[in-house]
Structure 1
């Protein structure tokens, strides 16, 4: 039997779409960056933590209204969930988005930067600063310490 033969339709239908897996991964990334548990996110959305798990793994597809709610709760634009999508999944869309300024490419920004423990701890600490003026000054300080182009 050649590769791919013998896989019936019902088996294919139960595999998560790569796009759903990517969007779910972005939900998990943002939730983790905020230091939010699956249970807390579920409570904010009226879901169980098991439902949140399924969304994050891409097992359950996220509908438009749920994506809107996720963006609101996680405080990101809806486009965040599609950022960094591999070209094989939405390459032409990413090219168009960059061309019109929606997804600005940053030189030297590696995809794994967002997954480093140091990054997660820094973002969590940043969002624990409750005074918005202090948080803004910390942000400006960090920007001032980076090399200029």
Structure 2
């Protein structure tokens, strides 16, 4: 009898992991461009430096709510974390 396949315990490495890696990479770039250290941004977001590192490394997926908070702190938009997504008229929710 064969042993069942083990799942990788790192969420960003499962299906959709490529997106987690891309978002994390963009997060790191934007943080560096803003001149912030990892601990500074982590404090501003209310997470640990370890959690932020996991986001940047793509080992933990960043929630939509965290992306919104991060974009506000960095003075960017959520779409800036997805450089391959092109904005089309009507494709992004507009404020009411």
Query: What TM-score do you get using the length of structure 2 for normalisation?
Result: 0.76
- 1:35 matched to 2:35? The reply is yes
Question: Which residue does 1:82 correspond to in 2?
Answer: 82
| Residue in structure 2 matched with residue 67 of structure 1 by the alignment | 67
**CA shift in 2, pair 1:7/1:22, >3 Å:** farther
2:53 is matched with which residue?
A: 53
Query: Equivalents in 1 of 2:53, 2:21: separation in Å?
Result: 11
Pick from 7, 11, 18 the counterpart of residue 10 of structure 1: 7
Larger Rg: 1
Q: TM-score, normalised by structure 1?
A: 0.50
Aligned length: 83
Which 5+ residue runs of structure 1 have no aligned equivalent?
1-5, 86-93, 102-149
Cα RMSD for the two superposed structures: 2.1
Measure how far apart 1:54 and its partner are.
0.3
Give structure 2 stretches of 5+ with no counterpart.
90-96
Rounded Cα–Cα distance in structure 2 between residues aligned with 1:7 and 1:57:
28
Aligned-residue offset at 1:48: 1.2
- What is the alpha-carbon distance in structure 1 between the residues aligned to residue 19 and residue 56 of structure 2? 12
Bigger helix fraction: 1
